[in-house]
Chain A
Amino acid sequence: MRLTQGTFSFLPELTEAQIRAQVEYALAQGWAVSIEYTDDPHPRNTYWEMYGNPLFDLRDAAGIMQEITACRATFPGSYIKVNAFDSTRGWEAMRLSFLVNRPPQECEFVLERQEIDGRRLRYTTRREPARTR
């Protein structure tokens, strides 16, 4: 199942040039770019591992592209995303976040229905098969 999380996730995979252009755009807006990876891309998992420190004060995408390449080489079997954080007062939030790497074998999720209190339903998204560490 193709994971659709973050910006551009319904589009075909971004090429290197497209990723670079997006990063350039983020830098031009004054956003701080960071790279995160995880082997647990459950939609409720908001805490991905940081790859190095957020890359503050960069002017050109070259440094970030280098980090993305390094992260892919280190964690080829992980999901990797690029985030752009806007520190402007009032925003102080992630403005852009998109996937740049997927494992060869994508994760599967199943929707589980549980009947509670008579006919009421409770839904859970569960990873299938369960993650083995």
Chain B
Amino acid sequence: MSAHPISSVAQEPAQQRGADIVDFGAALADSQVPQILLQLDQELVGLRPVKTRIREIAALLIIDKLRKSVGLQSAVPSLHMSFTGNPGTGKTTVALRMAEILHSLDYVRKGHLVAVTRDDLVGQYIGHTAPKTKEVLKKAMGGVLFIDEAYYLYRPENERDYGLEAIEILLQVMENQRDDLVVIMAGYKDRMDTFFQSNPGFSSRIAHHVEFPDYTSEELCEISARMLEATNYRLSAAAQEALGRYIELRKAQPHFANARSIRNALDRARLRQANRLFNTGAGLLSKEQLMTIEAEDLLASRVFGPGG
């Protein structure tokens, strides 16, 4: 008989075996992580690198828990993260999911997300900043603190700026109360890089730098389809084609905010659709008409140029 690993284990006393073997399947099912990851996969379009990264982090956390259960060394991993990417690439949405994942793994106790910007952390006069920052931190305890556009905290051009005070308090809490809260910082890639360069304390305390790529045109089409489906609208065939052209044109224009721009475009199309139906005057409208966005609703956008 070949030396099969299971048969060799079977010869050991049952007690010892119990201590060395962990039920990975049970731990996985217990944590609900697979469901959350699946949901993440299905509900968010694209974002391949982000999903891979989150999967890795979740895997590390589960394995760490298992290691702990058999008495192996497992330091509480640093979970502070930075999300960098252009506007509208889903940073806030992913942060919300991250809070859920960390909660289901017991790394944060409550799993809520507190989203703040500079205004919520930095005060307006001397002595105002520290209590303000501390209050926000207390609210975020047991959950995730999401700092949007974190680079605004640090304003090198004004040496008396109170942002530095907020940064100091943040750093202290990030270091000393790692099991109480997880900090996620988000913002544009280049400005975050400068921010981390001028505040080395942050970059060394943030273990995970996750980059959010821009969406491709196909992904934006997919996203718009989901947005419309969620609000009970549909595009006519011609409108579908018009939307494709719209996305191409809009991407080339300045201030393109990925999914957010698409959502705004669809909102405006809904306005025009409503107005179009309104102008048809009295008469019967079918459910179909109420649901359908026609090509003209989209083509009226300024993106197609005057008279386009």
Contact = CB atoms under 8 A, between A and B. Distances in A.
A59 B137 contact: no
B109 A60 contact: yes
Contacts of B110: 59-60
A21 interface: no
Contact of A66 (B112, B138, B139, B143): B138
Contacts of A61: 142
Nearest to B109: A60
B161 interface: no
A109 to B, nearest CB: 36
Interface in A68-114: none
Contacts, number: 32
A62 interface: yes
A49 B112 CA distance: 32
Interface in A35-87: 55, 57-64, 66-67
B219 interface: no
B141 interface: yes
B107 to A, nearest CB: 13
Contacts of B142: 59-62
A66 B140 CA distance: 13
Nearest to A63: B138
Contacts of B109: 60, 62
Interface string B96-137: 000000000000011010000000000000000000000001
Contacts of B181: 62
A51 to B, nearest CB: 13
Nearest to A52: B131
A66 B112 CA distance: 19
B177 interface: yes
Contacts of B149: none
B43 to A, nearest CB: 24
Contacts of B143: 59-60
Contacts of A66: 138
B180 A62 contact: yes
A62 B139 contact: no
A64 B142 CA distance: 12
Contacts of B141: 58-60, 62-63
A66 B180 CA distance: 11
A16 to B, nearest CB: 15
A127 to B, nearest CB: 34
Interface string B210-243: 0000000000000000000000000000000000
Nearest to B114: A59
Given A57-B139, A62-B109, 12 more contacts: A55-B138, A59-B110, A59-B139, A59-B142, A59-B143, A60-B141, A61-B142, A62-B141, A62-B177, A63-B138, A66-B138, A67-B138
Which are the 10 A-B pairs with shortest beta-carbon distances?
A60-B142, A63-B138, A62-B141, A60-B141, A62-B180, A63-B141, A59-B110, A60-B110, A59-B112, A59-B142
Interface of B: 109-110, 112, 137-139, 141-143, 177, 180-181
21 contacts: A57-B139, A58-B138, A58-B139, A58-B141, A59-B110, A59-B112, A59-B141, A59-B142, A59-B143, A60-B109, A60-B141, A60-B142, A61-B142, A62-B109, A62-B142, A62-B180, A62-B181, A63-B137, A63-B138, A63-B139, A66-B138
